[in-house]
Structure 1
Amino acid sequence: MNLLQQLREKPWLPSPGPVVALRDGSTFYLPAATLGLRVFFAVITVVFSLLITAYGTRMAFEDWRPAPQLGLLWFNTIMLLLASAGMQWARWAARRGDRDNLAIGLLGGGICTIAFLAGQLQAWRQLEMVPTFDVMSPAIGFFYLITGLHGLHMVGGMVAWGRAAVKLWRGLDVMRLRLSVELCASYWHFLLVVWLVLFALLFSGNDNLQAILVFCGIR
Structure 2
Amino acid sequence: MNIVLIFLAAIAAIIIWWLAGQRLTSKPWLETGSVQMPDHLGIERVPVPAVKIGLFVFLGVVGAVFSLAVSAYFMRAASADWWGMPVPRLLWVNTAALALSSAALQWAKREAQHGRMENLRPALVTGLALAVFFLVGQIQAWRELTAAGYVLADNPANSFFYMLTGLHGLHILGGLAVLAHTTVKAFAADVSPERLRLSVDLSAIYSHFMLAVWLVLFALFAGWANDFVDLCRTLIS
Give the TM-score band, short-chain normalised: 0.7 to 0.9
Q: Which consecutive unaligned segments of at least 5 residues does structure 1 have?
A: 1-18
1:174 aligns with 2:193: yes
Corresponding position of 1:69: 87
Aligned: 1:159 with 2:177: yes
Work out whether residues 150 and 158 of structure 2, in 8 Å CA contact, stay in contact via their aligned partners in 1. Answer: no
Aligned to 1:196: 215
Determine if the alignment matches structure 1 residue 45 to structure 2 residue 56: no
Distance in 2 of aligned mates of 1:51 and 1:93: 37
Q: Against the structure 1 CA distance between its residues 20 and 194, is the aligned structure 2 distance closer, same or farther, given a 3 Å change threshold?
A: closer
The reply on whether 1:210 has 2:210 as its aligned counterpart is no
Partners of 2:81 and 2:232 in 1: how far apart? 23
Deviations 1:95-137 (A, max 9, x none): 0001111101100000000000000000100010114556331
Paired with 1:165 and 1:133, the residues of 2 have a C-alpha distance of 37
The structural deviation recorded for 1:69 is: 1.6
Equivalent position amino acid for 1:168 in 2:
A
SS of 1:70 mapped into structure 2: coil
Partner of 1:102: 120
The aligned residue for residue 74 of structure 2 is: 56
Q: Match for residue 36 of structure 2?
A: 25
How many equivalent residue pairs?
196
- SS state at 1:97 partner: coil
- Please give the alpha-carbon distance, in whole angstroms, between the structure 1 residues aligned to 2:47 and 2:69: 35
Query: Equivalents in 1 of 2:188, 2:84: separation in Å?
Result: 49
Return the TM-score normalized by structure 1. 0.83
The structure number with the bigger radius of gyration is 1
Structure 1 residue ranges (4+ consecutive) displaced by more than 6 angstroms after TM superposition: none
Q: Tell me what 1:89 maps to.
A: 107
Q: Is the 8 A contact 2:85 2:157 kept in 1?
A: yes
Report if aligned partners of 1:64, 1:138 keep a CA contact under 8 Å in 2: yes
Considering Cα pairs closer than 8 Å and 6+ residues apart, tell me whether 1 or 2 has the greater RCO: 1
TM-score (norm 2): 0.77
Among candidates 130, 139, 144, match of residue 112 of structure 1: 130
Given that 1:99 and 1:174 are in contact with CA atoms closer than 8 Å, whether structure 2 keeps it comes out as: no
Alpha-carbon separation, structure 2, partners of 1:187 and 1:156: 10
1:140-189, Cα deviation, whole Å (9 max, x unpaired)? 10011000000011111011111111212222143330000000000001
- Residue aligned with 2:80, SS: coil
Contact 1:95–1:175 (CA under 8 A) maintained in structure 2? no
Note closer, same or farther for the CA distance 1:148–1:133 as it changes in structure 2 (3 Å cut): closer
**3-state SS, counterpart of residue 69 of structure 1:** coil
Superposed displacement of residue 30, structure 1: 1.4
Match of 2:159 in 1: 141
Question: 2:46 & 2:65 partners in 1: Cα distance?
Answer: 29
